[in-house]
Amino acid sequence: MEQPQRSAIFAVLRPLSLGELLDRAFGLYRNHFVSFFVIGLFPRGVAFAIALWADSVYLRTPRLSGSVFVTVFVQRIITLPVYMIALAVSHAATMLVVSSAYLQRPIQLREACAKAKPYFVTLAWLAMQTTVRVLLGFILFVIPGVFLTLNYSVSVPAAVFENLKASKALERSTQLTEGYRGRIFGLYCISGLISYAVSAGARYLVRRSLSVFSGTVLVELTRFLTSALITPAFLIAFALIYYDLRVRKEAFDLQFMAASLDASEAAKAAKA
């Protein structure tokens, strides 16, 4: 039983084309849909709840009242750090579920969330650093922003899988993506097209089916749900491209094989 399982693991740890990578990403998502969807729903649910609170205050207050401006200001101050923390929770749990499932060691959602706790601060800080650097790149010139986005595209899996601090994860991501930025750019383009097609199609159907007022409310709800539905698939894809880059550049498949064989021999020796 052990040998076939090991062979199956090594079969997935090989260089993949973009098509194969996306196929495996959607396959993992389909097989663990509930876990990934709940994880993806969490940060968007937090942001949605804050937005609803701000909207409720705004609708109950005269337009030129000072409390409206205070509410908007407080919302902006609260939303970013809270969303970053929620996003860190979501990303860490997603990476752990992906890694466990991809390497044939599936874990439950609750276990993934528990194991994700040590990464919350690192990933929140990593998200803020990445956002600031990429935003500055886009403000100065568009091309540096794109370049930094590609450089840092596997910083989250690097932080989680290799237990790195934020700055080291950014350096590690830059190292891994060197020479493969065109491939990663292609993944971003495909992800963006699929995301736009699904969300735009869903909003169009809602607008066509309902009145203007109810349609506006449901369009926002549809945007929220489609984002929660689509985003995990692409997080999975970037976790897999991290493994793909390590297989291509560092022979991670052979490293994993050696580690597995060592662990197997140690277990046999302990039983003997």
d(CA 41, CA 229): 8
Q: What is the pLDDT of residue 177?
A: 93
Q: What is the pLDDT of residue 49?
A: 77
> What's at 214, amino acid-wise?
S
Q: What is the pLDDT of residue 259?
A: 46
Q: What is the pLDDT of residue 69?
A: 66
Low-confidence ranges of the chain (pLDDT < 50): 1-10, 254, 257-272
Q: What is the pLDDT of residues 121-141, one digit of tens each?
A: 888 888 888 888 888 888 877
Q: What is the pLDDT of residue 173?
A: 94
Q: What is the pLDDT of residue 56?
A: 67
